[in-house]
Structure 1
Amino acid sequence: MTTGRFARHQRLLTSSDFRYVFAYPRRFNHPSLTMLVRSNHQSFARLGLAIPKRHIKRAVDRNRIKRQIRESFRAWQTKLVGWDIVMMARSGADRLSNRELHDVLELHWQKLATLCADS
C-alpha cells in the first residue's frame, strides 16, 4: 500500500489476531512503549494497538498516542512487510511530547526494519 492509508486489512481486528502475536512475540521495549511483533507470512504489515485506560487515564491522551502510532506506521509500512505488530503503551507514555513519541516510534521501526532485512 503506497497510498498512505490505513486500510482495514492492515489492522489487527480480532482477538485471535492479537492472541497470535501475544503467543510467541519478538519484543522491543522502551519505558513508555512496547512493540510486539510476529511474522504473518503475508505481503503487508498489520498493526494493532493496546493503549489501556489503566495506564493512560485521559481519552485525549490515548487518542493522541494512537494517532501518532498510526501516522508513523503509515510512513514505515512498506518497509515492514510480513509482520503483525502490536504497540502497547505503558504508564508515562502520556507524558511524552509528540516529538519524543515520534523518536521512540522511529527507533522501534528501525529495529524491526533491521530484523526484516536479516530475515
Structure 2
Amino acid sequence: MAKSVRPQGFPRQLRLLGQGDFQRVFNDTRCKSVDQCLLMLATPNGRGYPRLGLAISKRNIKTAVGRNRVKRLVRESFRRHRQQLAGLDIVVLSRNATHDSSNPSLLHSLNRHWRRLVKRCANSSSS
C-alpha cells in the first residue's frame, strides 16, 4: 500500500538515495542545465514523479551552514516545481559561485534551471 504524498512534503520516494540512483543519472544524462551557481543533470526515470539528489560539495561551500542553506533552498524550490518535473531523476551539484549567492538570486537561478530541464528533456525525448 502506497503512502499518500503530502503536497508540501519531501518524502523518501521523491529522493535519489543510493549510489546506484546517482550513478544512473551521471552515466545516462539526457539533459543538463548550467550556470555560475549550479549544475543540474537529469534523465527520465519511467515513473510518474520526479526524484531529486543533492551533491553540495564542501570544496565549493566551506561551512555546513552554507551547504545546508543551499540544500534547503533547492528542496523548497523542487517541491514547488515538482508537478512540471514529473518523470525525471535530477542531481543538483554546487559550483564555486554558489557560496556568494544570496537566497533570492539562488531561487531565481533554480527557477531558470527547472524551466530549462523541462524544455530540454522534452526535446530530447521527442527526437
TM-score, scaled relative to structure 2: 0.88
Backbone CA RMSD of aligned residues: 1.3
Query: Counterpart of 1:79 in 2: which secondary structure?
Result: coil
Per-residue deviation at 1:54?
Answer: 1.3
Alignment of 1:93-104 (within 5 A): 93-104=98-109
Q: Which amino acid aligns with 1:97?
A: S
Decide which of 49, 52, 59 is 2:54's aligned counterpart. Answer: 49
Identity %: 43
Larger radius of gyration: 2
Q: Which residue of structure 1 lines up, in the alignment, with residue 37 of structure 2?
A: 32
Q: Which residue of structure 2 lines up, in the alignment, with residue 74 of structure 1?
A: 79
Is 1:115 aligned to residue 108 of structure 2?
Answer: no
Q: Which runs of 5+ in 2 are unaligned?
A: none
Q: Which runs of 5+ in 1 are unaligned?
A: none
Aligned residues: 119
Contact 1:21 1:36 in 2 (8 A): yes
Contact 1:12 1:47 in 2 (8 A): yes
Q: Which residue of structure 2 lines up, in the alignment, with residue 9 of structure 1?
A: 13
TM-score, scaled relative to structure 1: 0.94
